[in-house]
Structure 1
Amino acid sequence: MCVEAIPPPPGRLTRRGVLAGAAALAGTVAAAGPAAASAGPAPAGGRHGGSGSPARQGYLVIRGGTLLDPATGEVTEDAVVVIEDGTVRAAGRRDRVAVPRGVEVLDAHGRWVLPGLVDAHIHLSTAAEARDAVRKGATSARSGSTAFYQDIAVRELARHSPALAPRLKAAGVFVTPDLGDTVLADPDLTPLARLKDGVRSAEALRRVVEVNLDRGADVIKTRVNERAGLPEQDPLAQVYSREQLAEIVTAARRRGKGVLCHSYSERGCHDAVTAGIRSLEHGAFVGEHTLREMRRRGTFFTPTLTAIAGLAESSDPVLAERGRAYLPVLKRAVLAAHELGVPLAAGTDSSGGAVDPIGGEVALMRAAGLPALDAIRTATTGAARLLGLERSVGRLARGYAGDAILLSGDPLADAGVLKQPVEVVRAGVLT
């Protein structure tokens, strides 16, 4: 989790090169999997049904399922969702929605239909990881950083080949004291390699933020504590002060961007929140005092329960014990946050090629004590608001993105069904 060391790509990396690389990457993946990469729908009349005539390009109708609107909690049986050019044109009861003739139809009888889910903390460094995330239900996401700006390329890949990657808010590289080989991610970062104490001065902190934003990052990722996923580190040890975090926040805000902050200790969490971060990540030992401050400021909490639960299953005895100790504490923090009215967002902290289903994070939110609908909202309407996508993501309503998941059962009765979507639709295309 929060992996920072990935071998650098060859040659000099520029913003233009990132975008060109994304286009080339998309072409390569599309060639390897033409059916999945196709921008248009499959012919009608196949396993998903249809009118028997050639399907109209850009259209998909999801018909016959039970539709859940996370915003209102309304459940509509025998529903129809009409998607045109990647956008929902109509949704509601079958007898009240006109279905265009000659379109591809996805038969959803016996299935529950939900909007595509949002993973608010994920590390996507390859095309394979991006596609895997979509197939597991994450049709939108926010990056938790990558070592060499791969997330910016994934974002561009998603823009012109949406079936291959989630709609993504990219974070660029981690603002952290020891950049390691990440100083090679951009020539403007290389002078930082000579700093004896690492990225700690106000000037150095601003430099990393500014390089990220010049590269096109949508958000900034930093930390206040060491990592939980490395046995030699102490997750409660603080690496940046409130003043240093405030420098990062101020530099990001000058360009209209927010900051997400890796954190564990109560003191670290409080320093991060009062420094003005947009969202607190992990936050196992966040206390009531800080949670109340988060509610006052509207700071989001992204607990990444999946990552902490994963530690408990580690073969390393230090990490396994850490996970077992932290998970129940974090679950209590999640429930306390919910009860106090702190906005919650679901995130898996997936990294290193192992993409966890975002539906599993929702199930863990439910296990922490959230009501089923509120747990679902952490990966739909709530996470969409954190990403600034609340007007286009998180619902299947007119004008929203044509992203959907079909489930084998009722997620309000069993959140576990969210872990394995039966079908995933991204921008009106079956993935």
Structure 2
Amino acid sequence: MCVDSAPPPSPRLTRRGILAGAAALAGTVAIASPSPATAADRHSSVRGDRPAGGDLVVRGGTLLDPETGEVTEDAVVVIRDGVVRAAGAQADTETPEGAEVLDAHGRWILPGLVDAHIHLSTAAEARDAVRLGATSARSGSTNFYQDIAVRELARHTPALAPRLRAAGVFVTPHLGDTVLADPDLTPLAGLKDGVRSAEALRRVVEVNLARGADVIKTRVNERAGLPEQDPLTQVYSHEQLSEIVAAARRGGKGVLCHSYSEKGCHDAVTAGIRSLEHGAFVGERTLHEMRRRGTYFTPTLTAIAGLASSPDPVLAERGRTYLPVLKRAVLAAHELGVPLAAGTDSSGGTVEPVGREVELMREAGLPALDAIRTATTGAARLLGLERTAGRLARGFAGDVVVVDGDPLADVSVLKRPVRVVRAGVVL
């Protein structure tokens, strides 16, 4: 079956039909009838990334700036309309009268955290992610564009969802019921070999772009979380991955790639992906290539660690085997200067705290501040949010986590935020 002859995906579905259906699946109707998007909205404008929020003064705690490592005691953060207007020592910072005050005395103040790999399919999952400190995130794909709806929900009502980079549907050989997510995907259902030809690969990317995806998600290996699959089996070649990357680049987007084997990792990186996901068996030659290209590594240690406690013996053994290998790869990447980003790979109704990923980064051998950066400034750069998220400085988003204890001494405090602020609103 030739898919090239099909008409281009209709952009008319992007805002109304697709978002309304995804909103229903995500468990919210808050965005079922959004206003027409401007070009700036579609390209994650400042307005879209920093929706109007509340006025708040966070006062009295110890402020950590992950960018510089600077620690400010008796600090104050002033947030107006959801944006930081001032941050620093309380004695040197003018605070407005009449604003709501969050007392942080005896606690530490950090910017909202970033989960660079998470699957958010419902409104409840989106709320849980924020409550656990992930005020910004990047989707690892959803079956029916729910992540695009979650992104719009965050723009309308920031307290309900993290600021999100949406991936739409997975570019994978076998789409399954995902062909029902979009009428422009249904012609692919009859392909004998699945989504493997250059035309079919381009089609899935183009449909995602037409529906408003911010990034494209694909795979090079089978899944680790299914006992019947072998994560070292390669499903796409270098040439196929290159087709996906090229199609995404024509739309101005990057690609994140699910990967495990060394050859798969190397093929994905040299094909031009933006970030390598999981990557348990990534080798030194590939890490050097990643450093040269600026390719990010999102190891999702939390997900791999979770396999070890699986009741399935195959998955449990896989987790026990893969986790130490992956930790060594993370440390090697860090020592080589490969940029790292924290991602939990949460899915299926259970949202893990991104602070757990920071804890595992620390266990892998990263210094505490560098581990924290993987969920703040580092992940923010990967998402293109380096001027919005990851710091509490003038002009940045008013997203805050307050924790009980010094994260530089014990990063595990990030798993249990005492307070979370999203766009100036205390949850």
Q: Same fold (TM over 0.5)?
A: yes
Amino acid at match of 1:229: G
Pairwise CA RMSD: 1.5
Q: How do residues 167-316 of structure 1 correspond to structure 2 at under 5 angstroms?
A: 167-316=163-312
* CA–CA distance in structure 1, aligned partners of residues 14 and 54 of structure 2: 34
C-alpha distance 257-79 of structure 1, shift in aligned 2 (>3 A): same
Alignment correspondent of 1:36: none
Write the deviation string for residues 163-213 of structure 1: whole angstroms up to 9, x where unpaired.
000000000000000000000000000000000000000000000000000
Amino acid at match of 1:16: R
Alignment correspondent of 2:69: 73
Contact 2:22 2:144 in 1 (8 A): no
Report the secondary structure of 1:262's partner residue: strand
Amino acid at match of 2:165: K
* CA–CA distance in structure 2, aligned partners of residues 66 and 331 of structure 1: 30
Amino acid at match of 2:387: R
Amino acid at match of 2:173: P
Report deviation, 1:59.
1.0
Report the secondary structure of 1:15's partner residue: coil
Report deviation, 1:17.
2.8
Write the deviation string for residues 299-343 of structure 1: whole angstroms up to 9, x where unpaired.
000000000000001000000000000000000000000000000
- TM-score (norm. length: structure 2): 0.90
Alignment correspondent of 2:40: none
* CA–CA distance in structure 2, aligned partners of residues 26 and 63 of structure 1: 34
Write the deviation string for residues 64-113 of structure 1: whole angstroms up to 9, x where unpaired.
00000000000000000000001000000000011100110000001100
C-alpha distance 23-266 of structure 1, shift in aligned 2 (>3 A): closer
Contact 2:20 2:29 in 1 (8 A): no
Alignment correspondent of 2:90: 94
Q: How do residues 356-371 of structure 1 correspond to structure 2 at under 5 angstroms?
A: 356-371=352-367
Report the secondary structure of 2:75's partner residue: strand
Report the secondary structure of 1:90's partner residue: strand
Alignment correspondent of 1:17: 17
Amino acid at match of 1:269: C
Contact 1:143 1:169 in 2 (8 A): yes
2:102 to 94, 100, 106: 106
Contact 1:60 1:429 in 2 (8 A): yes
Alignment correspondent of 2:319: 323
* CA–CA distance in structure 2, aligned partners of residues 193 and 79 of structure 1: 57
2:54 to 54, 58, 61: 58
Report the secondary structure of 2:121's partner residue: coil
Contact 2:18 2:211 in 1 (8 A): no
Contact 1:13 1:185 in 2 (8 A): no
* CA–CA distance in structure 2, aligned partners of residues 146 and 207 of structure 1: 17
C-alpha distance 156-22 of structure 1, shift in aligned 2 (>3 A): farther
Contact 1:348 1:356 in 2 (8 A): yes
Report deviation, 1:123.
0.1
* CA–CA distance in structure 1, aligned partners of residues 23 and 142 of structure 2: 19
Gaps of 5+ in 2: 1-11, 32-52
C-alpha distance 391-125 of structure 1, shift in aligned 2 (>3 A): same
* CA–CA distance in structure 1, aligned partners of residues 143 and 328 of structure 2: 32
* CA–CA distance in structure 2, aligned partners of residues 328 and 347 of structure 1: 17
Write the deviation string for residues 274-315 of structure 1: whole angstroms up to 9, x where unpaired.
000000000000000000000000000000000000000100
Report deviation, 1:58.
3.0
Amino acid at match of 1:76: T
Alignment correspondent of 2:385: 389
C-alpha distance 19-114 of structure 1, shift in aligned 2 (>3 A): same
Q: Does 1:420 align with 2:411?
A: no
* CA–CA distance in structure 2, aligned partners of residues 391 and 310 of structure 1: 33
Contact 2:14 2:210 in 1 (8 A): no
Q: Does 1:401 align with 2:400?
A: no
* CA–CA distance in structure 1, aligned partners of residues 333 and 166 of structure 2: 26
* CA–CA distance in structure 1, aligned partners of residues 381 and 232 of structure 2: 29
Report the secondary structure of 2:310's partner residue: coil
Report deviation, 1:16.
1.2
Report deviation, 1:20.
4.3
Amino acid at match of 2:105: H
Contact 2:80 2:424 in 1 (8 A): yes
Write the deviation string for residues 110-165 of structure 1: whole angstroms up to 9, x where unpaired.
11000000000000000000000000000000000000000000000000100000
* CA–CA distance in structure 1, aligned partners of residues 125 and 413 of structure 2: 22
Contact 1:249 1:276 in 2 (8 A): yes
- TM-score (norm. length: structure 1): 0.89
C-alpha distance 240-367 of structure 1, shift in aligned 2 (>3 A): same
Alignment correspondent of 1:129: 125
Write the deviation string for residues 8-59 of structure 1: whole angstroms up to 9, x where unpaired.
xxxx975313444677865669xxxxxxxxxxxxxxxxxxxxxxxxxxx931
Contact 1:380 1:395 in 2 (8 A): yes
Contact 1:22 1:157 in 2 (8 A): no
Q: Which runs of 4+ in 1 moved over 6 A?
A: none
